[in-house]
A and B are shown apart, each in its own frame.
Chain A
Amino acid sequence: MNQAKILNLVAKLKHTNNIKPRKLKNYRGPEGRIAMLQKSLTALLKYERIELNFNRADETRAYAEIFMSQIAKQGSQNQKSIDMANFWILENQIIYKLFNVLVPRFSNDVSYTNLYHHPNVYPGILRPKAILELKNNSFPKVSSSIKNQSSVENILLKESHKRHFIDVITQ
Chain B
Amino acid sequence: MAMSVRVRLGSQFRNIMRVCFHENRHMSTAEIVVEKSENPKEPERISLEEQQRLNDIAKNERMEKLLNMRFAYQEFLPDPNPKNRNTLKERLERRDMLARRSNVEIPEFYVGSLVAVMHSDPHAPGKNNRFMGICIQKIGAGLRASFILRNFIDGEGVEINFDMYDPTIQRIDVIRLEKRLDEELFYLRDAPPEYSTFPVDMEPEYQPEGSAVPVNEIKVPLKPLPWLVKWERMGMKGIRDVTSMLTEKRLRMSKLKQFNKPWEKYDLLKMYSETIPIEDQVEIFSEIQEKLHELEQHRYKMKRSRNFVKPTKMG
Interface on A for B, CB 8 Å cutoff?
1-6, 8-13, 17-21, 30-31, 34, 59, 62-63, 66-67, 70, 83-84, 87-88
CB-CB under 8 A from B75, the residues of chain A are: 3
Given known contacts A12-B280, A17-B82, A70-B268, A6 and B275 CB-to-CB distance under 8 angstroms: yes
Which candidate, B137-145, B171-179, B199-207, B247-255, is the interface stretch facing chain A? B137-145
Give the distance to chain B from A77, nearest Cβ to Cβ, in Å.
Answer: 17
Q: How many A-B residue pairs have CB under 8 A?
A: 88
List B residues at the A interface (Cβ < 8 Å): 67, 70-71, 74-75, 77-82, 84, 139-141, 144, 261, 263, 266-281
List of A residues within 8 angstroms of B263 by Cβ: 30-31, 34, 87
Given contacts A1-B144, A2-B81, A4-B78, contact A66 B139 (CB under 8 A): no
- CB distance A9 to B278 under 8 Å? yes
Residues of chain B with a CB closer than 8 A to A5's CB: 80, 274-275
Choice from B77, B140, B273 contacting A6 with Cβ under 8 Å? B77
Q: Whose C-beta in chain B lies nearest to the C-beta of A34? A: B263
Secondary structure of the A side of the interface? loop
Q: Is the CB of B139 within 8 A of A6?
A: no
With beta carbons under 8 angstroms apart, the residue of B67, B141, B268, B269 that contacts A4 is B141
**Besides A4-B78, A10-B278, A62-B272, 4 new A-B residue pairs in contact (Cβ under 8 A), listed by A number:** A3-B77, A3-B139, A4-B79, A66-B272
Given A63-B269, A70-B268, A4 and B274 contact (CB-CB distance below 8 Å):
yes
Given known A-B contacts A4-B141, A34-B263, A10 and B80 have beta carbons under 8 A apart: no
Q: Chain B's nearest CB lies how many Å from the CB of A146? A: 32
Q: Per a CB cutoff under 8 Å, which of B74, B267, B271 touches A3?
A: B74
B266–A6 contact, CB under 8 A?
no
| A17 CA / B85 CA spacing, docked (Å) | 12
B74 lies within 8 A of A63 (CB): no
**Residues of B close to A30: CB separation below 8 A:** 261, 263
Q: A-B pairs with the 4 shortest C-beta distances?
A: A12-B277, A4-B77, A66-B268, A2-B79
Name the residue of chain A whose CB is nearest to the CB of B78: A4
- Shortest Cβ distance from B263 into A: residue: A34
Assess whether B144 is in contact with A88, with CB atoms less than 8 Å apart: no
A2-B141, A4-B141, A9-B67 given; A62·B269 CB < 8 A: yes
For B268, give its contact among A6, A20, A31, A67 (CB under 8 Å): A67
Chain A residues with Cβ below 8 Å from B266 are 34, 83-84, 87-88
Partner of A18, one of B78, B82, B268, B281: B82
A3 to B81, CA, bound (A): 9
